[in-house]
């Protein structure tokens, strides 16, 4: 033992002691496991740190993209508002100028030529309104339509004033004279049929339709009814309390109103302004118009040409398809109406009783193509 240090002697004694070697080995194994776990923890921490560092730029980049998109959306919104404002100012100025010109023509109209010029300008005003539907406020649009309706009524009145008065003559009471008074009656209609002829209605009806002159049919059943272009031009048409009737309206009315109709077929040429349906059921319609509003109606198919959006309210079972009715003079009537035939929002419908945007309204639908083959004649 000479030449050995005290520590070596102690270690030797420890190793030679019973169980000393095993105790030392267990301690070494424990120390190694501790070191290994520490190293693994360090590596795991390094990996987490690296992952966090790699995610930071991605999050920042995504946030920056979202910020830029929001800035672009706000910029686009401001631009759209500016464009709408400019369009509204343009509409107001143009409408006021053309309206004043038409009023002057009507006030000083002493010939058919001046009336035709006024009529042409009114068509331009109608087209201006039709083209401005999508950006005008509802109030401005309604004011423009009401002003246009008043001008159209004034034009019709001036035309009647300039028509040559009939000479006084004694009328015979023969069969020929009696038959001549029935010219406006539709074929197959008995003399007792009530037809709203070309005469002014009481003031109450005038106020309801917004026009001083109305024509149409009422209180009829199982009849075929017709009105020609000369009877309808820029007139307000009222059809009410009809059952199982077929109605053909050739020409260009100003407005059309159908109420309390059941199992009827209505075919109408282009309507300059609005079509209104109320309390109807099991009907088929073909209409072209600027605006369509349907109220309290059910189980009705509508073949539609409309430049704005159709509106349904308190309705069920309404089906829409594109307008397909045609007749020889329809191109001329479309031109007279001021409607833009290239714009047709027949399947763009607002349901005032259905506010959910993520689900389709159950109150209206698109008519399947295989069910659109309708025999109009």
Task: Tell me whether domains 59-162 and 216-371 share a fold.
Answer: no
Q: What is the pTM of this model?
A: 0.50
Q: Write down the domain spans for the chain.
A: 59-162, 216-371
pLDDT score, position 29: 64
Helices (H), the chain: 6-16, 20-107, 112-131, 138-162, 175-180, 203-209, 229-232, 330-337
Q: What CATH number does the domain located at 59-162 have?
A: 1.20.58.1250
pLDDT score, position 243: 96
Q: Give pLDDT tens digits for 143-166.
A: 888 888 888 888 888 877 776 655
pLDDT score, position 194: 38
Cα separation values, 365 from 46, 263, 268, Å:
60, 19, 22
**CATH entry, 216-371, from 2.160.20.70, 3.40.710.10, 3.30.360.10, 3.20.20.100:** 2.160.20.70
* 147-178 b/e (C-beta count within 10 Å ≥ 16 → b): bbbebbbbbbebbeeeeeeeeeeeeeeeeeee
């Amino acid at each position: 033992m000479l030449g050995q240090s005290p520590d070596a002697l102690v270690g030797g004694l420890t190793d030679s002691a019973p169980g000393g070697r095993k105790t030392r080995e267990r301690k070494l194994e424990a120390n190694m496991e501790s070191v290994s776990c520490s190293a693994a923890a360090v590596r795991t921490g390094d990996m987490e740190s690296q992952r966090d560092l790699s995610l930071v730029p991605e999050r920042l980049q995504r946030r920056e993209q979202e910020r830029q998109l929001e800035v672009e959306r706000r910029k686009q919104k401001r631009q759209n508002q500016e464009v709408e404002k400019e369009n509204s100012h343009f509409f107001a100025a143009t409408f006021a100028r053309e309206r004043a010109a038409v009023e002057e023509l009507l006030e000083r109209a002493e010939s058919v030529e001046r009336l035709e010029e006024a009529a042409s300008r009114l068509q331009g005003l109608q087209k201006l309104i039709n083209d401005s539907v999508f950006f005008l406020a509802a109030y401005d649009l309604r004011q423009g339509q009401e002003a246009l309706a008043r001008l159209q009524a004034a034009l019709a009145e001036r035309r009647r004033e300039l028509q040559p008065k009939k000479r006084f003559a004694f009328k015979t009471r023969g069969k020929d004279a009696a038959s001549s008074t029935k010219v406006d009656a539709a074929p197959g209609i008995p003399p007792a049929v009530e037809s709203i002829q070309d005469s002014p209605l009481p003031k109450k009806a005038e106020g309801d339709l917004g026009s001083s002159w109305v024509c149409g049919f009422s209180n009829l059943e199982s009849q075929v009814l017709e009105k020609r272009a000369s009877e309808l031009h820029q007139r307000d048409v009222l059809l009410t309390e009809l059952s199982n009737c077929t109605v053909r309206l050739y020409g260009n009315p100003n407005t059309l109103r159908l109420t309390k109709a059941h199992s009827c077929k209505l075919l109408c040429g282009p309507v300059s302004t609005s079509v209104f349906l109320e309390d109807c059921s099991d009907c088929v319609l073909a209409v072209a118009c600027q605006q369509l509003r349907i109220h309290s109606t059910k189980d009705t198919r509508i073949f539609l040409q409309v430049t704005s959006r159709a509106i349904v309210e308190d309705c069920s079972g309404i089906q829409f398809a594109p307008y397909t009715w045609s007749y020889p003079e329809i191109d001329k009537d479309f031109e007279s109406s001021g409607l833009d035939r290239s714009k047709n929002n027949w399947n763009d419908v607002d349901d005032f009783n259905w506010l959910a945007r993520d689900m389709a309204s159950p109150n209206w639908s698109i008519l399947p193509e295989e069910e659109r083959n309708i025999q109009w004649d």
